[in-house]
Amino acid sequence: MTAPSSTLPADFLWAAPGEISRAAIDHYRRMVEGAHQRGLRPLVTLHHFTSPRWFAARGSWYAPDADERFARFVEAAAPIYADGVDHVCTVNEPNMVASLLPALAQASTGTESAGSTEHLATMGIPEPDAGLTETLIRAHRRGVEAVKSRAPHVRTGWSVAVQACQALEGAETAADACRRPRQDVFVEAARGDDWLGVQTYTRVVIGPDGPLSVPDAAERTLTGWEFYPQALGETLRHTATTVPGVPLIVTEDGIATGDDTRRVAYTSGALAGMTAAMADGVDVRGYFRWSALDNYEWGSYGPTFGLIEVDRTTFARTPRPSAAWLGAVGRDRRRPTA
pLDDT in tens, the chain (338 residues): 345 566 666 656 777 888 889 999 999 999 999 999 999 999 999 999 989 989 999 999 999 999 999 999 999 999 999 999 999 999 999 999 999 998 766 655 444 444 455 445 556 678 999 999 999 999 999 999 999 999 999 999 999 999 999 999 999 999 999 999 999 999 999 999 999 999 999 999 999 999 999 999 999 999 999 999 999 999 999 999 999 999 999 999 999 999 999 999 999 999 999 999 999 999 999 999 999 999 999 889 999 999 999 999 999 999 999 999 999 999 888 766 65
Q: Is 332 in a helix, a strand, or coil?
A: helix
The answer to whether residues 297 and 305 touch, using CB atoms and an 8 Å cutoff, is yes
Output the pLDDT for position 19: 86
pLDDT at site 13: 73
| Euclidean distance between CA atoms 227 and 234, whole angstroms | 14
- CA–CA gap between residue 96 and residue 61 (Å, rounded): 13
Instruction: Quote the pLDDT of residue 10.
Output: 62
The SS3 call for residue 308 is: strand
**Whole-angstrom distance, CA of residue 137 vs CA of residue 142:** 9
Q: Is 331 helix (H, G, I), strand (E, B) or coil?
A: helix
Query: Measuring CA to CA, which residue among 280, 274, 281, 276 is closest to residue 254?
Result: 274
Which of 194, 186, 193 shows the shortest CA–CA distance to 235? Answer: 186
pLDDT, position 123:
61
Burial (Cβ within 10 Å: 0-12, 13-18, ≥19) of residue 24 = buried
pLDDT at res. 111 = 46
pLDDT tens by residue, 182-211: 999 999 999 999 999 999 999 999 999 999
Euclidean distance between CA atoms 240 and 237, whole angstroms: 5
pTM for this prediction: 0.92
Distance separating the N- and C-terminal Cα atoms of the chain: 18
CB atoms within 10 A of CB 215: 10
Q: What contacts 239, CB < 8 A, 6 or more positions away?
A: 162, 187, 196, 198, 248
**What domains, with CATH codes, occur in the chain?**
5-332 (3.20.20.80)
What does the pLDDT read at residue 126? 87
